[in-house]
Amino acid sequence: MTKNISDGVETLPLPQLDEEERAAKRKEIYAALEDRDVTVQPATDDNGDPLENSMVLNMGPQHPATHGVLRVVLKLDGETVERAVPELGYLHRSMEKLAENKTFHEFMPYTDRLDYMSPYSNNTALCLAVEKLCGITAPPRATYIRTIACEIARISSHLLWMGTMVMDAGAITVFLYTFQEREKIYDVFDMLTGARFTVSHCRVGGVASDISEECANYIKDWLKVFKKKLAEWRGLLDRNRIWIERVEGVAVISKEDAIGIGFSGPNLRGSGVDFDLRRDVPYMAYQNFEFNVPVYENGDCLARYFVRLEEMAESVRIIEQALKQLPKGDVRVDDAKQSFPWKHEVYHSMEGLIHDFMMTDTGLQPPAGTEIYHAIEAPKGELGFFIQSDGTGHPWRLKIRSPSFCSLQALPHLTEGGMIADVVVAIGSIDPVMGEADK
């Protein structure tokens, strides 16, 4: 810990979770929802005045604005949301349990499918955790490649967020603009990793392949274009009255509540908490770069919008510096007990083949009884892996702290009292990815 990150968290009151009351209300709402002939829920108070009736609306899991399979059950008073009950788990694939029967490398492709908007960050988070557990240090060039790729993944994720959030507000064009840039990012990943979407490029002890000269130049050229595009989009949206009015003061969450609920990343910084793992707990190569951490005070959708926009610009700065500083050397630990051997070794030497076989079959074997938690600043927030080892090649327990899951807890808080149109913008502004929330 290089910086005191307490921010007074310890002194804050715990969020009041009135579980019983909420559970009762939830039951009532579900009952109204299950009754297929009821469009309107009769008022329970005010001696049955028909004008006080409310409506229970089921939003999701198949709804265009719930970013996948999020389900929110809304109790409406006209257009106003009286109560929102988010329901998760429609994309649950029991990742954490699956991990217990896989070696760490075998689990890597699963992490691609966590936050599938930035697979590289997830790979890196897992690798860093395992490296910490086994005491492996990746060579500097590999670290730089990871940093570059993570930041590109961050831009990719934020671009998707931007497109979908603005589209949720009704402007479809921005979505297509950002997706055109994401297409270029996919090209970058294609060059860098050989895969466009689910990259699985990180390896414990380094990365799978080196970055080519061509790829580095492509990134440089793309960044130049991207900066212009970013300014263009900001010109389109930053002063658009309708857009600002749609997001300003909507879905406000205070600093205390944001910390209490477990917000992290851009959502937390949108509420005025100056905390960024890249700066405060530097990992990979982040201590070598100069970058700002944008923080906004308001805690509304607009603040989160600006935080993410400026983060993209900062990511561009980081990538530029990283490409400039990119050290020469190996991209994987040259130790067969810690890392996969290179393919030419496997094909041409007996030792290489044996090591490859051992690595694939038994995998890395961290010391028994050790446990580790390592978190990185993923695009969505703090993505942490908690691993307990029993000395075999499979983790005894592997738990994922996914930022989307924590952010989604705030949904009732953010949407209740707002309007239906605010619900979709609020969901967009906290940028959940259900693959990550449901795991």
Partner 1 sequence: MPEINLSTAFFIGLGSLTIVASLGTILSRSPVTSALFLVLNFFALGGIYLLLEAQFIAVVQVIVYAGAIMVLFLFVIMLLNLEDEQRLTERYDVKKGFAILFAGLLLVEVLYVVGLKTPAIAPRLGTVAAEIGTAKYIGQQLLTEFLFPFEIISVLLLGAIVGAVVLAKKNFGPERATAKTTL
Partner 2 sequence: MNALALLLVMELGDRFALMGVVLGVLLTAVAYTVYAERRIAAFIQNRTGPDRVGFDLIPQLKFLKGAIGLGQPLADVIKLLMKEDVVPENANKFVHALAPLISLFAALTTIAVVPYAKGVAIADVNIGILYILAITSLGVYGITLSGWASNSKYSLLGGLRSSAQMISYELSMGLAVVSVVVLTNALNMGEIVESQTSNPLNWNVCRNLLGFIIFTTAAFAETNRAPFDLPEAEQELVGGYHTEYSSMKFALFFLAEYANMIVACTVIVTLFLGGYQVPFWTDAPWFVQVGAFITKTLFMMFVFIWVRWTLPRFKYNQLMDLGWKFMLPLGLFNLLIVASTIVIFGNSLPLSILNLVLVALCVAGSFAAKPQSKMA
Residues forming contacts to partner 1 in the complex (CB under 8 A) are: 15-18, 21-22, 25, 39-40, 42, 48, 50-51, 53, 82-83, 257, 261, 412-413, 416-417
Helix residue spans in 139-206 (DSSP H): 140-168, 173-193
**Kind plus residue range of the DSSP H or E element containing 403:** helix 403-408
State the minimum distance, in angstroms, from the CB of residue 116 to partner 2: 21
What pairing do the DSSP bridges indicate for beta strands 395-401 and 381-389? antiparallel
Burial of 387 (0-12, 13-18, 19+ CB in 10 A): buried
Scan residues 283-312 and list those touching partner 2 (CB under 8 A). Answer: 294-298, 302-303, 306
Q: Which does 167 bind (CB under 5 to 8 A by kind): partner 1, partner 2, none?
A: partner 2
Report if residue 31 touches partner 2, rule: CB under 8 A: no
Report if residue 5 touches partner 2, rule: CB under 8 A: no
CB nearer to partner 2: give 160 or 167. 167
Q: Which does 243 bind (CB under 5 to 8 A by kind): partner 1, partner 2, none?
A: partner 2
CB nearer to partner 1: give 269 or 413. 413
The SS3 assignment for 383 reads strand
Structure tokens at 7: 């921010």
Query: Bridge-partner residues for 374, per DSSP?
Result: 385
Scan residues 81-120 and list those touching partner 2 (CB under 8 A). Answer: none
Chosen residue from 4, 21, 241, 290 binding partner 2 by CB under 8 A:
241
Report if residue 246 touches partner 2, rule: CB under 8 A: yes
Q: Which does 306 bind (CB under 5 to 8 A by kind): partner 1, partner 2, none?
A: partner 2
- Binding marks (x or -) toward partner 2, 45..84, rule CB under 8 A? ----------x-xx----xxx-------------x-----
Say if CB 271 and CB 278 are below 8 A apart: no
Report if residue 420 touches partner 2, rule: CB under 8 A: yes
Q: Which does 42 bind (CB under 5 to 8 A by kind): partner 1, partner 2, none?
A: partner 1
Q: Which does 294 bind (CB under 5 to 8 A by kind): partner 2, partner 1, none?
A: partner 2
Query: How far is 8 from 220, CA to CA, in rounded Å?
Result: 41
State the minimum distance, in angstroms, from the CB of residue 248 to partner 2: 7
State how far the alpha carbon of 157 is from the alpha carbons of 119, 128, 433, in Å.
Answer: 9, 20, 10
Rg (CA), the chain: 23
Query: How far is 283 from 304, CA to CA, in rounded Å?
Result: 24
**Which window, 97-105, 192-200, 242-250, 350-358, contacts partner 2 (CB under 8 A)?**
242-250
CA geometry: angle 86, 384, 91, nearest 5 deg: 35
- At how many degrees (to 10) do helices 420-430 and 301-325 cross? 20
Q: Which does 169 bind (CB under 5 to 8 A by kind): partner 1, partner 2, none?
A: partner 2
Q: Which does 64 bind (CB under 5 to 8 A by kind): partner 2, partner 1, none?
A: partner 2
Helix residue spans in 35-139 (DSSP H): 95-99, 104-112, 119-134
State the minimum distance, in angstroms, from the CB of residue 282 to partner 2: 21
- Amino acid making up residue 212: S
Q: Please, how many CA atoms are within 13 Å of residue 296, restricted to the half-sphere of its CB?
A: 21
Q: Please, how many CA atoms are within 13 Å of residue 405, restricted to the half-sphere of its CB?
A: 19
Say if CB 256 and CB 268 are below 8 A apart: no
Centre a 10 Å sphere on the Cβ of residue 8 and count the other Cβ atoms it contains. 10
Q: Which does 61 bind (CB under 5 to 8 A by kind): partner 1, partner 2, none?
A: none
Report if residue 240 touches partner 2, rule: CB under 8 A: yes
Instruction: Tell me the number of residues near partner 2 by CB under 8 A.
Output: 47
State the minimum distance, in angstroms, from the CB of residue 422 to partner 1: 12
Binding site residues, partner 2, CB under 8 A: 37, 39, 55, 57-58, 63-65, 79, 166-173, 176-177, 180, 236, 238-246, 248, 272, 274, 294-298, 302-303, 306, 419-424
